[in-house]
Amino acid sequence: MLKKYSATPYVIWSILFIVIPLILIVTYSLSTKNPINGQLVFSFSNYRKFLELKFINVLLKSVTLAFKATIICIILGYPMAMILSKMEAKLQKKLIVLFILPMWMNFLMRTYAWMVILGKNGFINKLLSMVGLNLNLLYTRGAVLLGMVYNFLPFMVLPIFTVLLKIDNNYIEAAEDLGADKLTVFRKIIFPLSMPGLISGITMVFMPAVSTFVISNLLGGGKEVLIGNLIEQQFLVLNNWNFGSALSVILMIFILVFMAFINKFDKDNDDKGGVGLW
Amino acid sequence: MVNKYIKRIYTIAIFLFLYAPIILLIIFSFNKSKSLSSWDGFSLKWYIELFNDKHIMKSLYYTLLCAVLSSIIATIIGTFAAFGIFNMKKIQRKIILNLNNLPLLNPDIVTGISLMLLFAFLSRYKLRLGFLTMLIAHITFNIPYVILSVLPKLKQMNKDIYLAAMDLGATPFYAFKKIVFPEILPGIITGMLIAFTMSVDDFVISYFTTGNGVSNLSITIYSMTRRGIKPTINALSTILFTVVLSLLLVVNKRSKSIKDLT
């Protein structure tokens, strides 16, 4: 009895609060409100509206920005993960805790901290004023990019680190015995074996970056409209839930396609089930 | 040798990048003046102002209440679910685990909006956006973390002990209580702590599922930052940072290896 039914409350909960809400989003996205009686009528018009150039451009801009953030995170994060994985155990443990710590701090606080630093009278401008400069750093696209990299860098480093730690040293030694130089060992052994970690890192950076509306609102000052901002506006300002739902479905499909594409590079990820943070 | 120095400098640079903003926030929470770039002397006035701010204190109350309730409820549902999933047939298990991954793979904004649509739909039946809806949302996104931390412990467990207990006449519930539960307890506690911190940290999903004047700390900070920069937020960050630091130390003491943590 216990064996059989102990998952039942969870299954019911998931259907109520995961499956049905998703069905609702799809339903809303495929309908419009009749202006006379407020009834929902089936229509593709929300998706047709998305095909207008300005909305497509918003999606393209979000994707480009998230892509840039992901690349920067790989460039900064991969070497960091390698250095961490080769440290002696005691120091390594301490540094990993230190590395996770900022991640556990409230996400808005971390973003707010950059508002303070980049602001007109902020720390960086204070330093620059000594040499007579004053730059507009906050409320720019660069600030949004910085916010993404800052917030999501640990998500890139940790999965790569975990995978690197598991690599059997014998492979590396064997390759070296057979005359491979350092670069070849990295190219032929370390990098291919770290692929699963790199891929979860990419998903864990790209996904929150492409769907964010907080970073673009706070560090972009409302000037940088991303797909997340567009969805938020439709729901909380413009009250067009149907179009907002259509945008959410498009974002969801985009992310699913992206994940299917990126998982192709990872040959054996059957038992991981996608997410690998915990 | 040179290589070693480059590595050291790189590590320091990355950690500086991660910590500089937080350290600046903390330092200037003790600043006498409102300025966040020039130091005008030590003072605790922003902390006093913080504790006198009714709105912030109320959202702190809601944050903690929501985190405690949602992590406890999610832990109960999630632990039993993990036990059930563990005993399922392979195909069934695969379907449920995919369902479990859904909230983790979906962007927060989509999860938040989908729940908002559901609650709006249910408002016909007198369900109003507020604390209850936010709590339901938090339980929903917390359950997967509990399942994912309990399931590995079940897999590590020696199944024969459970069967032996049953052979010796224990009821399934008694065997669960005496054999399975102590064995998976570390996983349960880790899951609950993760759920708790996830709940405290959440902004996006709460933002869309709350209403009626109920807001958690994240939402309050968000609306404060949109109105401009204020040192009370720094004071609040400092306190939260200290709390998180102590929580993480507890978790770290619990987990024997780094692998448990990452």
DSSP assignment of A6-67 equals: TTHHHHHHHIIIIIHHHHHHHHHHTEEE-TTT--EEE-SHHHHHHTSHHHHHHHHHHHHHHH
User: For domain A21-263, which CATH number applies: 1.10.3720.10, 3.40.50.2300, 3.30.300.170, 3.30.930.10?
Assistant: 1.10.3720.10
* Residue the block writes with tokens 């409102």: B34
Domain boundaries, chain B: 1-43, 55-261
**Does residue B221 belong to the interface with chain A, where contact is any CB pair within 8 Å?**
yes
- Say if residues A64 and A216 touch (Cβ distance below 8 Å): no
3-state DSSP of A206-230: HHHHHHCCHHHHHHHCCCCCCHHHH
Give the integer Cα–Cα distance in Å for B142 and B62.
17
Instruction: Please report the pLDDT score of residue B259 as a whole number.
Output: 46
Give the integer Cα–Cα distance in Å for A80 and B218.
30
Task: State whether A100 and B258 contact (CB < 8 Å).
Answer: no
Both tokens of A152, joined, read: 């999501």
ipTM of the complex: 0.86
In this prediction, residues B188-207 reach a mean pLDDT of 91
Report phi then psi at B107, rounded to 5. -60, 145
pLDDT, tens digit (0-9, with 9 covering 90-100), for A86-131: 988 888 988 888 888 887 778 888 888 898 888 887 888 888 888 8
DSSP 8-state assignment for residue A243:
H
What does the radius of gyration of chain A's CA atoms come to, in whole angstroms? 23
Task: State whether A210 and B197 contact (CB < 8 Å).
Answer: no
Instruction: Please report the pLDDT score of residue B114 as a whole number.
Output: 95
To the nearest 10°, the Cα dihedral for B15, A137, B226, A109?
A: 0
**Does residue A161 belong to the interface with chain B, where contact is any CB pair within 8 Å?**
yes
Give the integer Cα–Cα distance in Å for A67 and A155.
15
Both tokens of A206, joined, read: 């790209």
Both tokens of A138, joined, read: 């906050």
pLDDT, tens digit (0-9, with 9 covering 90-100), for A35-49: 777 778 888 889 998
Both tokens of B256, joined, read: 């024997």
Mutate which: A98, A106, A130, vs B, most B CBs within 10 A: A106
Give the integer Cα–Cα distance in Å for B128 and B149.
33
Which stretches of chain A score pLDDT less than 70? 1-2, 266-278
A159 or B254, which is more confident = A159
Q: What is the pTM of this model?
A: 0.87
pLDDT, tens digit (0-9, with 9 covering 90-100), for B68-107: 999 999 999 999 999 889 888 888 888 888 888 888 888 9
Of B28, B35, B237, the CB nearest to A109: B237
Contacts of B101 in chain A (CB under 8 A): 273-275
DSSP 8-state assignment for residue A121:
T
CA B68 to chain centre: 10
Which overall architecture, per CATH, does domain B55-261 show? Orthogonal Bundle (1.10)
To the nearest 10°, the Cα dihedral for B101, B103, B109, B111?
A: 140
Length of chain A measured in residues: 278
Give the integer Cα–Cα distance in Å for B210 and A230.
20
